[in-house]
Amino acid sequence: MQYRWFKIFNRTEFEALGLASKTYTLNLEGFGQKEILVTKGVAVGMLYDDVFLSLELNDLNPFEMDDRAIYVDEDDDVYLGVAV
């Protein structure tokens, strides 16, 4: 499936903050201003438009759910994908 990908945060930098969660307010091109909640539990995940995407769940990268996807690259940059 084709997605429009947006870089949201860097996992290494987020984990270095020592926070359980952080809200990123970003203006996603074509979608406008959005608030994305990034949380850390057993794994790192993010909540976007009521869909929770868990990073590398079931060893899937990208992990896809409800026309959304989450992907982490070799630099630990985490991307949000929205189906097009």
Partner 1 sequence: MLGGLDPVIIFQFSKLASSVGQSLARVPVISQIPTVIEQPPIPVYLSEQLFNIVIAGTGKSVDIETDTETKSDGSTPDVNQKGIQSSVEVNIEGKANSVALVLLSSLIDVVYEKASSKEYAISFLYGATTVFRGVLHSFSTETVEGTDKLAIKISISKGSKNPTKPNEVPVVPGAVGTIPGG
Our CB check for partner 1 shows the closer of 14 and 71 to be 71
Residue 70 makes CB contacts below 8 A (sequence gap 6+) with 45, 46, 53, 54, 55, 62, 63, 78, 79, 80, 81
| Binding of residue 57 to partner 1 (CB under 8 A) | no
Stretch that binds partner 1, among 12-20, 24-32, 40-48, 51-59 (CB under 8 A): 24-32
Neighbours of 8 (CB within 10 A): 19
Of 20, 22, 19, 48, nearest to 36 by C-alpha is 48
CB of 59 to partner 1, least distance (A): 15
Among 44, 45, 48, 62, binds partner 1 (CB under 8 A): 62
CB of 15 to partner 1, least distance (A): 20
